[in-house]
Structure 1
Amino acid sequence: MQSAAYAVEARLLGDDRIPALHEDLDGLRGAGLAWLGAVDGDGRLAGALAWSEDGGVLDVERLVVAPALARRGVGTALVRALLDRAGERPAVVATGRDNAPARALYERLGFVRTGDREVAPGLWVTTYRHGS
């Protein structure tokens, strides 16, 4: 699912240099991330969110939704679940600057844009923060 979801983002960005797009199963398992999953009505994985925590700040490392279920609230539900888990702790996320659907999701949930940065020549991400 991660590869399929990041392939969609790569098309939106016009750039396939997204590290998670090329990650194999061993890399995924070895990433040391905590995960939340969402299942559909048939018990199949619909989406997943992975995060790390550093100094009390939760960093959304991955948000993937099965492409067939995109824009049906799966990603929103996963991010809300993480924010509930975070409580008073802040959360941060970075997404492709040209990924309008992801940016709209984070902004709708109260994330505030903190800037843009070029992570590779010509590849830009927008960073967000939620909470203090």
Structure 2
Amino acid sequence: MIKKLDLHNLSLVKELFELQTASYLVEAKLIDFFEIPPLKETMDELKECGESFFGFFEREKLAGALSYTIDGEELTICRMVVHPNHFRKGIAQRLLDEVENNKKDFRVFKVSTGKDNTPAKSLYLKNGYKLVGDLEVVPGLFISNFEKRRS
């Protein structure tokens, strides 16, 4: 089941914090970079991040989450996290479908991921996102930027 997350619910924020830590540690290993901002974030910073969240629940337990921000007609996906115990179950796909279906009036969707994060890049490409380019954000670390435009 997918539902909007209320970051005023402290037990839910704790669950989200633990989920994102587990998920981003896998990405950190994939891209060989352990300074990913969410890995350095505190629970209070997560709670106050200003992003909107959808969560995927399996048996009342948070198994995945997606966050986004909105700027005009653009929606930017900020976080896509799935607990490693739930990889390869289609959770990221369902979260992506949820945000796109819930936000039909947006013309531009943007997302970024580590250049070496092949599973994430494959997800976005198979869903119609186009690679806009790679950006070196710190020496030796490249981020791939994707965009999906609707008429």
Provide TM-score, normalisation by structure 1. 0.96
For 1:71 and 1:84, locate their aligned partners in 2 and report how far apart those are by CA, in whole Å.
Answer: 22
| Structure 1, unaligned runs of 5 or more | none
Q: Which SS does the other structure have where 1:107 is aligned?
A: helix
For 2:125 and 2:40, locate their aligned partners in 1 and report how far apart those are by CA, in whole Å.
Answer: 27
Corresponding residue for 1:68? Answer: 85
Q: Equivalent of 1:57, from 63, 74, 83?
A: 74
Q: Which moved more, 1:85-94 or 1:55-64?
A: 85-94
Corresponding residue for 1:80? Answer: 97
Q: How does 1:102-117 map to 2 (within 5 A)?
A: 102-117=120-135
Q: Which SS does the other structure have where 1:101 is aligned?
A: helix
The structure that has the greater radius of gyration is 2
CA RMSD of the aligned region, Å?
0.9
Moved over 6 A (4+): none
Aligned amino acid, residue 131 of structure 1: R
Q: Equivalent of 1:120, from 125, 135, 138?
A: 138
Tell me by how many angstroms 1:86 deviates: 2.2
For 2:70 and 2:38, locate their aligned partners in 1 and report how far apart those are by CA, in whole Å.
Answer: 18
Corresponding residue for 1:16? Answer: 34
Q: Which SS does the other structure have where 2:46 is aligned?
A: helix
Please tell me whether residue 99 in structure 1 is matched to residue 117 in structure 2. Answer: yes
Mapped contact 1:88–1:131 kept (Cα < 8 A):
no
Provide TM-score, normalisation by structure 2. 0.84
% identical equivalent positions? 36
Please tell me whether residue 43 in structure 1 is matched to residue 64 in structure 2. Answer: no
Residues 20-55 of structure 1 show CA distances to partners (whole Å, capped at 9, x for unaligned) of: 111110110111000001001x11111000000012
| Structure 2, unaligned runs of 5 or more | 1-18
